[in-house]
């Protein structure tokens, strides 16, 4: 079981709600994934269209927890204000804190992220910071009051998987007690399985599911990958070796020359 | 009075935020609001006076990753 801020979840897969071909596909993909947490955002609402009202009605009917993000924020002020607005609309202390530092890579601005995290944690928010594998930022986020971290696998929407294995392994080893959810960059179920095999506690997936030819099928595939990866981690992976080692015993090999 | 709502100039008769929202068609909508970059909680919208040229943001739940 995965526990995030005292909430115990049966699934280690968190799912984004963006870029699905239709609301119906989103609903079915959430169900197929088995997720209990979906990410959402806040955007400008046109009084005539009321697109947000319709979306919110769909999400409420899903019966899962929502994790509002601060996507698109580039400053502490924007992120903190967005968090306040999200708390009111979504009725949750949870916030996936994103403070973007670079528009090409969508890499987080570690300094602003830390400052925003300090403000929000002090105000009682339960902050899920979107961060990198940087150890010093990660430790400071924890010191600021974050009890979950969301390190990136690779750039948002890139589908490139775990880009810096060495750094991610070091982060896992440094913070063995902190739930770490790989956020961003997961492009295939194999990437998700790898994250879980390395001991990460969960993954947040969006584009890899929503932009698949069959999002519902892909959601199901990710659900299985996450379960497989976690079970493999608990079972203990073998150590890789430099040279071949025969798996069939040499003893008793027949002399047939 | 002219205010900017979600980036577009609008002419409203209302002089405070709650009435302006109703006038603009948001009366029963689930939205969060900010004026000039500062969050205005729902409970304080009736007391939030608007001035000419104010920038009002009206945000609602949307898809997100």
Domain of B46, CATH number, reads 3.10.20.30
Q: Is residue B22 part of a domain?
A: yes
Q: How far apart are CA A191 and CA A195, in angstroms?
A: 6
Which residues of A are less than 8 Å from B65 in CB distance?
A: 16-19, 39, 41, 69, 71, 156-157, 204, 206-207
Q: How far apart are CA A98 and CA A42, in angstroms?
A: 13
CB contact under 8 A, A53 and B30: yes
Give yes or no for a contact between A38 and A67, defined as CB atoms under 8 angstroms apart.
yes
Task: Give me the long-range contacts of A245-253 (CB less than 8 A, separation at least 24).
Answer: none
Strand (E) or helix (H) holding A57: helix A51-62
Which residues of B are less than 8 Å from A51 in CB distance?
A: 60, 62
Which residues of B are less than 8 Å from A81 in CB distance?
A: 34, 37-39
Q: Three-state SS for A205?
A: strand
Average pLDDT over residues A161-184: 97
- What is the extent of the structural domain holding B53? 2-59
- Neighbour count for residue A85 (Cβ, 10 Å): 23
ipTM of the complex: 0.95
Q: Is residue B37 part of a domain?
A: yes
Q: What is the pLDDT of residues A193-243, one digit of tens each?
A: 999 999 999 999 999 999 999 999 999 999 999 999 999 999 999 999 999
Q: How far apart are CA A98 and CA A87, in angstroms?
A: 15
Q: Which two tokens stand for residue A50?
A: 């009321």
CB contact under 8 A, A56 and B58: no
A153 pLDDT above the threshold of 90 = yes
What's the count of helices (H) and strands (E) in chain A, helices before strands? Answer: 9, 10
Q: Is residue B47 part of a domain?
A: yes
Residue A169 is a catalytic residue:
no
Q: Is residue B65 part of a domain?
A: no
Strands A13-16 and A202-205: parallel
Burial class (CB in 10 A: 0-12, 13-18, 19+), A255: exposed
Provide the domain count of chain B.
Answer: 1
Q: Say which residue the tokens 């306040």 belong to.
A: A84
Q: Say which residue the tokens 């608990």 belong to.
A: A234
Q: Is residue B55 part of a domain?
A: yes
Average pLDDT over residues A1-19: 96
């Amino acid at each position: 079981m995965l526990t995030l801020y005292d909430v115990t979840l049966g699934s280690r897969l968190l799912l984004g709600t963006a870029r699905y071909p239709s609301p119906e596909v989103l609903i079915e993909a959430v169900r197929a994934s088995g997720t209990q947490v979906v990410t959402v955002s806040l955007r400008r609402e046109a009084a005539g269209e009321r697109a947000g009202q319709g979306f919110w009605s769909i999400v409420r009917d899903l019966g899962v927890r929502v994790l509002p993000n601060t996507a698109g924020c580039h400053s502490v002020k924007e992120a903190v204000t967005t968090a306040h607005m999200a708390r009111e609309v979504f009725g949750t202390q949870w916030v996936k804190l994103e403070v973007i530092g670079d528009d090409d890579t969508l890499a987080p601005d570690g300094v602003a992220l830390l400052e925003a995290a300090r403000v929000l944690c002090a105000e009682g928010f339960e902050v899920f910071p979107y961060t990198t594998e940087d150890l010093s930022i990660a430790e400071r986020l924890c010191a600021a009051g974050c009890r979950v971290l969301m390190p990136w696998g690779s750039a948002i929407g890139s589908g490139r998987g775990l880009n810096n294995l060495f750094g991610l392994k070091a982060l896992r080893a440094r913070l063995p007690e902190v739930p770490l959810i790989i956020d961003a960059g997961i492009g295939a179920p194999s990437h998700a399985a790898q994250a879980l095999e390395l001991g990460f506690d969960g993954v947040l997936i969006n584009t890899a599911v929503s932009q698949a030819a069959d999002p519902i099928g892909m959601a199901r595939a990710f659900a299985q990958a996450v379960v497989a990866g976690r079970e493999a981690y608990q079972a203990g992976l073998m150590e890789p070796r430099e040279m071949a080692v025969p798996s069939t015993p040499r003893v008793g090999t027949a002399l047939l020359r | 009075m002219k205010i900017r709502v979600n980036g577009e100039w609008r002419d409203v008769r209302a002089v405070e935020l709650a009435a302006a929202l109703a006038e603009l068609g948001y009366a029963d909508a689930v939205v969060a609001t900010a004026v000039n970059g500062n969050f205005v909680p729902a409970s304080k919208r009736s007391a939030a006076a608007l001035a000419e040229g104010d920038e009002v943001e009206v945000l609602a739940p949307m898809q997100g990753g």
